[in-house]
Amino acid sequence: MNGIFSFVFQTLLALTKNFMRYKHYEKCEAPICVEDFNLSYKDEVTWRPGEKVCQKGPFQKFQKKQTDINRWFKKGKFKNKDTAYTAHELETRSI
Question: Cis link prior to 49 (omega < 30° from 0)?
Answer: no
DSSP lists the bridge partners of residue 46 as: 86
Question: In this predicted model, which residue has the larger pLDDT, 73 or 17?
Answer: 73
Instruction: Name the residue among 49, 46, 47, 48 with its Cα closest to residue 76.
Output: 49
Query: In the prediction, which pLDDT does 74 show?
Result: 95
User: Is residue 9 packed enough to be buried (19+ CB in 10 Å), middle (13-18) or exposed (0-12)?
Assistant: exposed
Query: In the prediction, which pLDDT does 37 show?
Result: 81
CA distances from 57 to 1, 35, 53, 85 (A): 38, 10, 11, 20
Q: Which band of pLDDT confidence, cut at 50, 70 and 90, is reported for residue 6?
A: confident
At 25-82, the pLDDT tens digits run 678 899 999 888 888 999 999 999 999 999 988 999 999 999 999 999 999 999 898 9
* pLDDT greater than 60 at residue 21: no
Query: In the prediction, which pLDDT does 13 show?
Result: 57
Delimit the domains of the chain by residue range. 2-92
- Global pTM reads 0.74
